[in-house]
Chain A
Amino acid sequence: MNGLIYLSNVVTLDLDPEKCTGCRMCTIVCPHEVFVVENRKARIVQKDRCMECGACEKNCPDQAISVRSGVGCASGIINGLLRGTEPTCDCGSSGCC
């Protein structure tokens, strides 16, 4: 479903090209093809598709990526508000969040 994009210009994804060594890990782990690597440097090409899952940040060996990761889940945010914590995805052990 290529057409599904969420809000524009909200995500916290950031890439520091200085630190990037072009290992391509971010292009492998990102489920939404947010990055491309050209001339041994990563570049963000589809920022609005980022769902802030944090996989790229976690798997970049050179700490070139930063993103405030968390669950993009309304119930989770409400849970967090009610308990005064970070948004938590408290879906018990069901198959989804």
Chain B
Amino acid sequence: MKPGYITGHLDTPSGAIPLVSTTWRVKDIIDTIKVRWSVGRMNYRVQPGLYAVGSPRDSSPVFVTANFKLTFDHVRRALGGIDGWLLVLDTRGINVWCAAGKGTFSTSELARQIGLASLEKVVSHRKVIVPQLGAVGVSAHEVKQQTGFAVIYGPVLAADIPAFIDAGYKATRDMRKVKFPFSERMKLVPVELANPGYYLLLVPALFLLLSGLNRHGYSIDLALSGGLRSLINLLVAYVAGCAVTPALLPWIPFRRFALKGLAVGWCAAVLLSLFHLLGSNPLEAVSWFLIMGGLSSFTAMTFTGTSTFTSLSGVQKEMKTALPVQIGMAAAGILFWLFSKFIIL
């Protein structure tokens, strides 16, 4: 079936090129939401190759992008009112940034697609515009050597493409900088939240089950009342690490993500204790501080993967100390929590 974003074809010296629409339809909006919430991630690929936008001529610019549908959608929307060519690389449905890091958005893939499309027959100039983040995988001078096409690095964000064109194909300092504003961080939170998959059910279920244990054996009532409390505490710690820490990132002291997460997790635990949610038994309260601190710290640390300013060396350094501490805290916390069910303090 022909995807909805293709509206026709354009005849060129290298054959018929599909013409894409620059507006989003309802399905595109639904796709975007589904991808953010990790529903059926695998199906959002665009057929690689050359596409036409508007009524391009042989002098029109060529924009290079990845075949992740969301990326493709943003680029074609940004090209509204512009006549140009869109060269989609086969990045196996991954965005430019990640694909460049993995080596699928690369010099060789760009050279291959330029060749497959016989780009030299379609356009008279010898330039391709590559999104700046693609520079992680693409080497401009090597592309030039291999294909004769010069790489111009465009803006980081597709939305800046019109301004980039207006400025005479120059990305301003601002367009080249990767920023990580609140809105951007929040967009990534759903993926973070959904990341652990079935653990999200397994761990709470275990806590619910074990909550029924007490000195006298097992109590269903306790499993429900104490279990509910456990679930709230776990959920709060999880949200503290996965959502609150990313949201407040620049304002939380400490550079290490693990410490940021720990601070937020403990603040949340203090709040919960005000509502007597950590239990009346001091040992249980301590156990919750350990569990919640460890969990929030760990989940906050995984946000390093999503953030746009953490280096591999830095994360490795941070993890070397943080990971054992987090595991130790969680393990000790769970032990204390189990003990607290049998001991009256």
Instruction: Write the residues of chain A forming the contact surface with B, with a CB cutoff of 8 angstroms.
Output: 1, 3-8, 10-12, 25, 28-33, 49-55, 58-59, 61, 68-78, 87-89, 91-97
Q: Mark B291-331, 1 if CB is under 8 A from A, else 0.
A: 00000000001101111111111111111000100000000
Q: State whether A96 and B319 are in contact (beta carbons under 8 Å apart), knowing that A6-B310, A12-B313, A31-B176 are contacts in the complex.
A: no
Q: State whether A93 and B42 are in contact (beta carbons under 8 Å apart), knowing that A1-B179, A75-B305 are contacts in the complex.
A: yes
Residues of B within 8 A of A89 (CB): 98, 101-102, 305
Q: State whether A31 and B153 are in contact (beta carbons under 8 Å apart), knowing that A50-B311, A75-B305, A97-B98 are contacts in the complex.
A: no
Q: With A58-B139, A70-B312, A94-B191 given, can you name 20 additional A-B contacts, CB distance below 8 Å? A: A4-B309, A5-B255, A6-B314, A7-B256, A8-B255, A10-B313, A32-B178, A51-B310, A53-B101, A69-B136, A71-B305, A71-B312, A72-B312, A72-B314, A74-B301, A74-B304, A74-B305, A93-B93, A93-B94, A94-B35
Residues of B within 8 A of A78 (CB): 319, 323
| Residues of B255-289 contacting chain A, CB below 8 A | 255-257
B42 touches A92 (CB 8 A): yes
Question: Could you say which of A28, A52, A75, A94 contacts B302, with CB atoms under 8 Å apart?
Answer: A75
B136 touches A33 (CB 8 A): no
Secondary structure call for the B interface: helix
A11 touches B313 (CB 8 A): yes
A32 to B116, CA, bound (A): 34
A94 to B91, CA, bound (A): 12
A32 touches B177 (CB 8 A): yes
Interface size class of B (residues with CB under 8 A): 35 or more
CB A79 to nearest CB in B, in angstroms, measures 10
A95 touches B35 (CB 8 A): yes
* B13 proximal to A (CB < 8 A): no
* B21 proximal to A (CB < 8 A): no
Residues of A within 8 A of B98 (CB): 89, 91, 96-97
CB B175 to nearest CB in A, in angstroms, measures 11
Q: State whether A28 and B137 are in contact (beta carbons under 8 Å apart), knowing that A68-B312, A91-B305 are contacts in the complex.
A: no
